[in-house]
């Protein structure tokens, strides 16, 4: 009885979460001249075909990916360095640094966006330069990605035995080499987590990009300008493809993980025997 209730509840919540996605996917196959959102005109792949011919959408997608790659990479390097520095700080400066790091995460996105826009526009006015665009987007995205990188690297640094690094140096390892041979492998999971988190955040960001993009179009901005009129089913098609790819990969990875876990368990059992 209780279990059935739980099942129904879970089902209802997931229905709520997936209903609009289902609508998006279904209407990406809609065969309708007027690109209607609510009237079904039969199955077709025309929007998928159109998608790959649409220069504007593909350009926006490329911009989005380029920004995501660059800002994820930059914020990971910068953030990892910062995390190491913060980790070796004394209590008070560390608290100050952590507060600055946390600030953009608690601050409403729109305020961050607006404040960066004020900064960039003032900078353009003061120092010349053409306008906002790729440059300001890179800076903005790196800024809001940095805290996430630091917060995923720091715990790993704390878990690490500080003597390891000193031991390596005592054995005659130069500091840089000691870092790459000893410290980096230890904190690698945190770095990778930060990198990928930065990447996803950057790809999905709308609010901050909206205020700092100038004339550059990223995918979310392009979609926004469409929502003011009507969204072309091409965008539905694009999201459907992306969604499908994410889902398939999730299933593959999940299955692989499950198998690994099984093997691990078997080994554990083996060892305990």
Query: Which residue, 44 or 115, has its beta carbon nearer to other proteins?
Result: 115
CA–CA gap between residue 228 and residue 113 (Å, rounded) = 20
Smallest distance, Å, CB 272 to other proteins?
19
Smallest distance, Å, CB 41 to other proteins?
14
In Å, how far from its chain's centre is CA 153?
Answer: 16
- DSSP codes joined into one string, the chain: -HHHHHHHHHHHHHHHHHHHHHHHHHHHTB--TT--SS----B--HHHHHHTT-HHHHHHHHHHHHHHHHHHHHHHHHHHHHHHHHHTS-HHHHHHHHHHHHHHHHS-HHHHHHHHHHHHHHHHHHH--S-SSHHHHHHHHHHHHHHHHHHHHHHHHHHS-HHHHHHHHHTT--HHHHIIIIIHHHHHHHHHHHHHHHHHHHHH--HHHHHH-TT---HHHHHHHHHTS---HHHHHHHHHHHHHHHHHHHHHHHHHHHHHHHHHHHHHHHH-
């Amino acid at each position: 009885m209780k279990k059935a209730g739980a099942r129904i509840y879970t089902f209802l919540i997931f229905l709520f979460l997936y209903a609009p996605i289902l609508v998006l996917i279904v209407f990406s196959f809609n065969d309708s001249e007027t690109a209607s959102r609510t009237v079904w005109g039969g199955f077709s792949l025309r929007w998928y075909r159109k998608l790959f011919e649409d220069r504007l959408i593909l350009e926006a997608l490329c911009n989005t990916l380029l920004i995501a790659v660059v800002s994820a990479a930059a914020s990971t390097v910068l953030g990892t360095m910062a995390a190491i520095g913060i980790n070796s700080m004394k209590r008070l400066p560390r608290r100050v640094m952590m507060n600055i790091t946390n600030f953009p995460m608690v601050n409403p996105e729109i305020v961050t966006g607006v404040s960066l826009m004020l900064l960039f526009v003032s900078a353009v006015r003061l120092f010349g330069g053409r306008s906002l665009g790729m440059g300001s987007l890179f800076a903005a995205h790196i800024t809001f990605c940095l805290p996430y990188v630091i917060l995923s690297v720091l715990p790993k640094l704390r878990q690490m035995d500080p003597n390891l690094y000193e031991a390596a140096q005592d054995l005659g390892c130069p500091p840089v080499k000691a870092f790459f041979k000893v410290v980096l492998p230890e904190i690698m999971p945190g770095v990778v987590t930060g990198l990928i988190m930065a990447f996803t955040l950057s790809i999905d960001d709308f609010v901050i990009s909206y205020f700092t993009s100038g004339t550059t179009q990223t995918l979310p901005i392009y979609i926004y300008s469409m929502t003011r009129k009507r969204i072309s089913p091409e965008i539905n098609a694009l999201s459907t493809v992306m969604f499908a790819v994410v889902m398939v990969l999730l299933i593959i990875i999940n299955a692989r993980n499950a198998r690994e876990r099984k093997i691990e368990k078997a080994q554990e059992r083996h060892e305990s025997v």
